[in-house]
Every structure is written in C-alpha cells, then in structure tokens.
Structure 1
C-alpha cells in the first residue's frame, strides 16, 4: 500500500509503444514518489522517458502505448482513499474528475499548448466550467484572481487577450494559471522554463515556489536544467533510457553523485568557474576529423589580413505597429528594435551577443545577413580581399559575400527541409554558388559529414530520422559548406539538452581552432556565452549597454542590466542559490531601476579602458563608473 506520507507513488512503471518496426520500451521499471508540499525533480535527456511518465500520470498516453505497474495517488481531498491511476479508464468519469482538478499540468511549449482561437480567460475558466458548478460571473472572477496571482498587472484586460498578444513569459504564466485554477494537490511542470530568458525563468521559478507555499501543493518538476533542480527540488530522480539511474534527496544528489551518468551530466554543464581553455565533458564526444582540410584546402593562406573582419556602425531599425482599427484607420506606433548599435568583430574571435527576448539580437543578425534592411547605419566586411559594404552589395559582390557570412539557426528542426536528404541539404549551397562538378560536390559533402562526426551512411536519410543534436550538427555542416569566414550562431544550443549542448559547443570550438573561423554567438544563456566568447556585448531595448572582454564582463560588470542578468542565472550548486527576493524587487529591463548614471535622454558609450565600454549618461565621468 501507499505510504501515508506519499501523495504520488509510482511503482515499477513500464510503458511500451507498438511501432511498425517492433515494440519500443520507453519506460522500464521506474519507481519514484512525490511528497505532499514538496518538489520532486525528474531529470534526464530528451528521449529518457520523462514526459512519457508524466503523460501516464495524467492519463493522456496515446492508444499505441501499453503501461504496466502502479501509479498510486493519495488525494488529500479524500483522505484514506488511494487510487491506482493506471487501473482507471483514461476517458472515464473518475479520471476526468481528477485530471485538471486534483492533478494539473504545465506543458512545455505554451504557444502550441494554448488555443490561438480562444481568449486566455476562456481557456482558464474552462477547467472551472468542467469541474465546478460556478456561474459565468464567478468563473470570470476566480480566473481573474488567478491571473493576478501569477503576475498579470491587469487581470481584467488579460482575461480578454489572445495568446499571440502575450510574450513567452506571460504565456507561460497563463499556462500556470490554467493548471492551478482548480487548486490541484499535484502539479506536473514539464520543462516550464525551457527556452525562456534567465530573468523570465527566475520569475517563473519564484512564482512556482510562492504558489506552492500558498496552496501547499506538490510539484513533479520535469527538466534537464540542473541549475533549476538545485534551486527548486527537495528530491531528485535521474532517468536514462527509461530507467532510474539515481534517486535521493537533493543534498545527496548534488554533493555526492554516485552514478557515472549523473556525474557526466554535471560535468557537461557550462558554469562561470571554468578555467581558460577548460573543455566541457560531453557524455558522447564528437571529434573533428581533419577539419583544416575540410574544403580540400587550408583556410589561411598566410597573407596579411586586417584585424577587424566585420565593422558595424550606427545600426537602427524601427517597426510600425497599428494599435487599433482596420483599413488604414487607427493609431500607428513606432517601435525601435535596434537603436544606434555599433561594434566590431575581430578576425578569429567569438563575440557573444546576449540579452532578453525582444532586445534586438536576432534583428541585428538578420541585418548582417541582408534578410532585414535597416533604417540607417553601415556594415563593412573585409576578409583581406578588400572592404565590402554589406548593406549596398549587389550582383556578384553580394553572391560572393553570402558565401563568406553564413548562419546557424536556433531551431534545428524547422531550419532543415523535411523533403530533402542530408546529401541534398549539404550540396545545395555548392550548387547555388556553382562550386565544382557533381563528383567534387559529393567529395565536399563527404568531408563535411565526416567533420561533424556523422557516418556517410547518413547522406541518404532525412532530417526527421536524426536527434536534435545531430540535426544541429548538420546545420553547422551546411553553414561550413562554402568555406565562410564568419559564422552567425543564433541561439544554436537553446533547444538542446545539456549533454548534447556540450557536444555542439565543443564542436564549434574545435572548428574555430581548426578553420580559423570567426563567430557572432547570440544567446540568452550567459554560462554558454562565458564558455564560447572572447568578448561579450549585452543588449537591452535595442541598444548595446555594455561590451567588454569576457573575463571583465563576467567578473566585474558595471551596468545594472548586466548585473541583473548575471544574478538571474541558476547555478547547479546548492551553495549558490538564486536570490529570489532581490530578483523580485527589480525588473532587469526597467530603466528607472538603473540609477542616474545609466538613465537619461542622452546616453553615450563611456570608455572604461581595455575595451570595456558601458552606455551611460553623457554627464557622468567614466572614472565614477569603474568598479
């Protein structure tokens, strides 16, 4: 029988799927518990079975799945009555009464989990309509109260808004409100902060902690982020390929990890204490095979080349938004996505560009790739063959330029055509730019595949048959096909597990060393940027507020926004917990919190020496800003 102390106990759970190629055993004998009012973290890589376990608890497994074992739920609302959820018909009245009412779930992707055709309030109040007898007015009042609790400043207005009108963080808050509106005893949070900015992530974690205390609720937290686990969990269960590798209190797991898999996961996480030149220890390392001869020739011909590869000056880009009205009526507002941005990228270096979503990072990258036309500014590219005006290049000059600047995209799934084989994906740039004949192109493709650690048998397969990390490696190989000088990496590891992330980061470092590549590395993960970058530029509200060598920025930041970003990074270390109180007191992007020196009508870059620039009021002496 279930222990009186356990809210949820899973015993010897086995889940398999019937597929055309045979049976797949996704979960193999998993046992775990969730205590009332406590947080149990379920940790593992993509494909380890974490989400399948949560779907079994919610009774939403697909029909192709068969499950054995026991999932015992001891609802405090009905003391002494223990229910085996696996024995209940998923569509039966008993399970429907529990699902959404006593057991709530926050899904991983709020945009696809929320209906685009219904208002936020409509979707939140639906649970009340199903599980209670409340009137429409009562449901609205209760939903608005819940929206207020999860941090909406104007719950009445938010109730009538649609998901596309909200930011990623606000959509996640709406998902939390929907999951908690019926006051469940157990909340299943499936990767609730994946792909969110560090500041928004810290707000969501603080919100979950506050609501857990307010409702005395238990949480089953599914994540691959060990920093989140260290700041949230009471107990930890580590799964790999459907089996529990290690489980125990969070103190034991972090201070005395016993299983090699858990030790490997911890070693794969980039952190701020890494020594110069220290490598991440990927669980499955990808070695670079003769990358220096990747394209049949050495990248560096030994000729003297200018120190600055790309020079950006005064970039600005505004977008017009119509606040209301149709067919030309209504008020038109202008939003500055990029505001007077200037920086240089030196040959052979990695410049990190960090900031929250919406700060203008990706817009800058699109301008450099000629996908977006700026309102003003200049971009100059010089790889030793003469300076090229990137924004005015046309014809053959533009064609040549595109081969010298390539991009690695954020989402390895949507950036690769599902209708093309890997051979076609990698040879397409060579065909477009007229590089070699069919035989030479195939030789180049074979070298590319070998360089990224894939077997040549992969050439005839399609992207869907590869893992996320393998797809990202294919994206990197495609970007390298034309022998570029500059790679723009836009959040290349944000959607990947820490172990796969370590693979990709090490691969990028090795390729940079072998090929003499230059990177513009865009990310919101400061620990990743700290590992990759030589210099770091911090963006907020379309402007670069601070730029400095990596060691200077990470150890002695000056701008309040940079300090807030660094303070919001969750460490996988129990001795360095997040200061939720301090984070709650100030909004990182709220300029009124920055102080007189950094807030005003006219801001100019102040030179603090050694390449350290910070955006400050022109009336402030740079000596006052030095840490």
Structure 2
C-alpha cells in the first residue's frame, strides 16, 4: 500500500515543555495503528495535530499528506486512487503531496482535513435537541452526500447498533449511546482516515466489541486508515496492525501490538481487594420507578421497581450495558432527577433524609454530602487547577491551606507529589485528557462528601494511573470510612475494587452480590 502520511521531527512545545518530541512516523494507506501510553504522553495532541484544523497548536516539523485530488471538484482520495476517477463528480484524480504544517495550499489543506474525521474522548459532539437520525443526516449534509440521506443514515445507525434509539432525542441518551451517535456521525463522512481517541473507553464490553468490529470492517472494506488510542492493552492487540508506545512525547517503541503492549504493561502489579466489614445502611432505596413518555415508543421504564441499600464504608458497583438504566438510577440517587415513584433515603448524622423531597431540610440537607463525578465532567477552562478545585466550587481556604489541601487531594486522585505541585497553576487545556479527568475527581474529593458516586472513573486512565486510583479509593475507604458508588463498564476495575455489585438490565436489578458472583453473568450475556 502507498504511504498516506509522513510525519517528520514533529515537536509540540507548551511553556518550555515538549508534549511531542521529534516524532517521526510513516502511516500506510488502509492500516490501523494503535497508540498506547500513559496519560500525558502526547497521544491526544498527536491526533489533533494530524487533524490539521487547530492553528493554535505550536507544532514544528513536517506532516506531509499524500493523496489523489480531483482536478474538477478538489475532493481528496487516498494516494492509491491516483489515475482513477473522482467518486463524487467523475473528474480525474491526480497525485498530490501537501505539508499541512508548512506552506500547504489553503484549499488543498482544507480538502484534506475534510477527509480526516476525529473522535475526541468523552466529548459528545452531537446536536442535543435533535433525534439520532437527524444528527446523522446533518453529518451526511456536511459531507455533501447526494443519495437517499434517510436510508443511508438508517444504515449507519444500524452499523453502530443503535437502531432501537433512532428516533430518540440525543440529549436523553446514555453516555455510551451518545458515543455511538458520535461514531455514526463520523462514519457518515466516509473519511479516508479516522482518528479515534479512546472511542470505547466508556462503553460496556459488548458495545465496545461492536464498535471495534465495525471499525475493523470499515477499514478493510473501504480502505479507511485508522489511528486509535486506548489505555486498554486488549483494544490495541485486538484492532491494530501496528502499535506505537508514546512516553513523554517520544516514540519509545513501534512494532507488533503484542510486543508493544508487553513493553507498556511490564512491571504493573495487580491490586487485590481486601474484605472490609461495612457498616449499616447509608442509602436505602425502595420501590423506585422512573418513567419517560415518548411519542414513538410510549412508556419507557428507565428505572423499574428497584429496591436495595448501600452500606457505610462499602464500595458498591453498578454495571450493565449502555441504556440499561444506570445513568437514570444514579441521577436519582444523587438527587439530580425526580423519580416517578418510590423512596430514596440517605443517612445524615442520626437522621434519615428523603432525597425525593425538595427543600432545604430534605434533599437540600443531604446534597452537600453527596459527591458526583459524571462521565461528561467539565472543568472551567479559564481557571487554574487550584482555582477549579477551590474557588469555582465555593470552597474558601487561606492560600497556604488551599495549596496543601489541593496537593493532598491530587495525590489521592493518582498524581505524584511533584506533578501535583507542578499543575496547580496550569489551565485544563495544558493537561492531557487523563490528567483533566483526575483533576475532576480531585474536585469532587476535596469537598469531603460522605458518599461519592463515580460514573466511568477509569475510562481515560492508563493501567498505571488506574492502579494509583484503585489504591487511593481503597485508602480513602480504609482511613476515613468513605463510601463509594461506582458505575462502570470496566469489569476488571469492578472486580478488583467493589465489595458488592448490582447488574442492571431493562431498568431492573437482575443480580446483586459479590463481583465474582455477578460479573460472570453479565460477561456471558455480553459475548
């Protein structure tokens, strides 16, 4: 196959720190390259530079795209199509080579960028007020698709296994379903290269497998070149034809996926969950229902007659496929969503507080003791890390105490002491996605809640950082008796850290018990 992209001595520097350091790589047409490395190693920056649209990235070096451009309409195809006819207008395709960092023709650069799609981790770039099919149809319009848009959109939605949500409003979908809408929108563009940054980090294993199979199929059938980043070694091994390991902005290793994974994971010690005697109930749920009404689907039971309790000091897991009702259940438990019926009570001091009842002495009294890190978390982009952790959430500390508290909390979230000090004055945009996620976790922990809800807490974390976070959660539970509720698709994480787990399906809890009892059931269903 012909070379699609030549990267030569690519360097990106922020405030004297080299995020990418003399990276050189040739990407062949139609191959699938897996990129793995710790948070902050430069994976996301590399993809954004390759996209070629962000002029603010301080990049030097060369990124030369080789392709075949139509002499009539300017459409760019992979280099192997040179000498053929344009699929859009029938014009002749002539070879081109453009360095998008140094003096590329603006029109050709724009035409190249139109043929490069990107999926950014945890960023749901969708039209929230539109239905799923309308979202995909708009993407087809943007790409200039000239056929039957409705049928083409329906086919793409079926490819990502979302036909049962085709008419749903996008904002009402679960996080995993939104991620599949994002993928459908990118596939609608029929790109010659797809840059996928942790595309399945927050999806359940079954849905992730569907996405992986679709990517591999499209890459093979349509010749789409794919660059995919992941913190999960199994994803890289399953999908990539080649893999590269980034470390501190440099390519440490490039080669067979199995060899690269071995180099990346070597020395990571497993963390064992210790049995801990939990206290009495801290949250009680009885007969909980949440019904939604849809014109096309009628009554939807997002939460369907759920009853259970969460005990003080335990780490409780909630697992299930995308759309099973986990998000709705979590939002009710945290006081952010009104149930249709049922009861949720939380123990505050010696009193039981009704979370379903509004008012200062009811839900208002319990809410300050509930921490929530949602998978669609956000940080204030124009505030520093320490400001995000203190000022922006109403915590007023003297400067010296604020710094001490922030450093301590950042360490609990997986940073070492040096990095904790280094990032206090940095803005979120100067951190990697994995680092931003850990800062968001620290933002929750610094408020010292009684019960902490973590929604997909490890979706963007590499195995080493995940180990630190596991140890931090276990330490917080052991040292101060903190209670955690973890909603996750990461089965290994749940198995390692949770005392009990509830398997949610169709809005109901169909199994509850120790992870080793519950997870085999869900994994069998997800095969």
Label 1:393 to 1:506 Cα distance change in 2 as closer, same or farther (>3 A).
same
Distance 2:392 2:151 in 1: 51
TM-score normalised according to structure 1 size:
0.65
Give the SS at the match of 1:348. Answer: coil
Equivalent position of 1:298 in the other structure = none
Please report how far the alpha carbon of residue 509 of structure 1 lies from its aligned counterpart in structure 2 after TM superposition: 1.3
Across the aligned residues of Structure 1 and Structure 2, the Cα RMSD in angstroms comes to 4.3
Give the SS at the match of 2:143. Answer: helix
Equivalent position of 2:436 in the other structure = 468
The answer as to 2:58 corresponding to 1:44 is no
Equivalent position of 1:513 in the other structure = 478
The answer as to 2:234 corresponding to 1:227 is yes
TM-score normalised according to structure 2 size:
0.76
Distance 2:376 2:516 in 1: 29
CA contact (8 A) 1:379 1:389 kept: yes
Q: State which drifts further: 413-422 or 529-538.
A: 413-422
CA contact (8 A) 2:49 2:57 kept: no
CA contact (8 A) 2:452 2:484 kept: yes
Residue correspondence of structure 1 range 235-250 to structure 2 within 5 A: 235-250=242-257
Residue correspondence of structure 1 range 58-207 to structure 2 within 5 A: 58-62=51-55, 65-69=58-62, 71=64, 73=66, 75-78=79-82, 81=95, 83-86=97-100, 89-100=103-114, 103-108=115-120, 111-112=124-125, 120-128=136-144, 139-141=146-148, 144-145=151-152, 148=155, 151=158, 167-180=177-190, 184=192, 186-207=193-214
* Per-residue CA distance 1:478-508 (angstroms, 9 max, x = gap): 341xxx4432223333344544443333211
Please report how far the alpha carbon of residue 413 of structure 1 lies from its aligned counterpart in structure 2 after TM superposition: 2.6
Equivalent position of 1:12 in the other structure = 8
* Per-residue CA distance 1:201-223 (angstroms, 9 max, x = gap): 22111111112222244322233
CA contact (8 A) 2:278 2:314 kept: no
The answer as to 2:474 corresponding to 1:478 is no
* Per-residue CA distance 1:344-393 (angstroms, 9 max, x = gap): 22232211011233332233233233333322222344577355554458
* Per-residue CA distance 1:29-63 (angstroms, 9 max, x = gap): 21223334431112234443334433444432415
CA contact (8 A) 1:169 1:200 kept: no
Equivalent position of 2:272 in the other structure = 276
| Equivalent residue in structure 2 for 1:504, among 469, 492, 496 | 469
* Per-residue CA distance 1:261-309 (angstroms, 9 max, x = gap): x236x838xxxxx57348xxxxxxxxxxxxxxxxxxxxxxxxx996333
Please report how far the alpha carbon of residue 428 of structure 1 lies from its aligned counterpart in structure 2 after TM superposition: 3.6
CA contact (8 A) 1:14 1:28 kept: yes
Q: State which drifts further: 529-538 or 90-99.
A: 90-99
Equivalent position of 2:408 in the other structure = 450
CA contact (8 A) 2:162 2:180 kept: no
Gaps of 5+ in 1: 130-138, 269-273, 279-303, 324-331, 432-437, 568-627
Equivalent position of 1:493 in the other structure = 458
Please report how far the alpha carbon of residue 81 of structure 1 lies from its aligned counterpart in structure 2 after TM superposition: 4.9
Label 1:317 to 1:152 Cα distance change in 2 as closer, same or farther (>3 A).
same
Q: State which drifts further: 392-401 or 341-350.
A: 392-401
Distance 1:155 1:410 in 2: 20
Please report how far the alpha carbon of residue 340 of structure 1 lies from its aligned counterpart in structure 2 after TM superposition: 0.4
Distance 1:157 1:93 in 2: 40
CA contact (8 A) 1:535 1:548 kept: yes
Please report how far the alpha carbon of residue 163 of structure 1 lies from its aligned counterpart in structure 2 after TM superposition: 6.2
CA contact (8 A) 1:313 1:341 kept: yes
The answer as to 2:283 corresponding to 1:310 is yes
Please report how far the alpha carbon of residue 98 of structure 1 lies from its aligned counterpart in structure 2 after TM superposition: 3.8
The answer as to 2:292 corresponding to 1:319 is yes
CA contact (8 A) 2:137 2:153 kept: no
Distance 1:515 1:487 in 2: 13
Distance 1:460 1:176 in 2: 36
The answer as to 2:48 corresponding to 1:34 is no
Equivalent position of 1:421 in the other structure = 387
Equivalent position of 2:307 in the other structure = 342
Distance 1:341 1:128 in 2: 47
Distance 2:155 2:338 in 1: 40
| Equivalent residue in structure 1 for 2:344, among 374, 379, 404 | 379
The structure showing larger relative contact order (alpha-carbon pairs under 8 Å, at least 6 residues apart) is: 2
* Structure of larger gyration radius: 1
Label 1:175 to 1:427 Cα distance change in 2 as closer, same or farther (>3 A).
closer
Distance 1:393 1:96 in 2: 52
Distance 2:452 2:463 in 1: 22
CA contact (8 A) 1:421 1:459 kept: no
CA contact (8 A) 2:304 2:508 kept: yes
Equivalent position of 1:363 in the other structure = 328
Distance 1:154 1:317 in 2: 25
The answer as to 2:511 corresponding to 1:546 is yes
The answer as to 2:488 corresponding to 1:523 is yes
Distance 2:478 2:246 in 1: 35
CA contact (8 A) 2:20 2:249 kept: yes
Give the SS at the match of 1:112. Answer: coil
CA contact (8 A) 2:136 2:153 kept: no
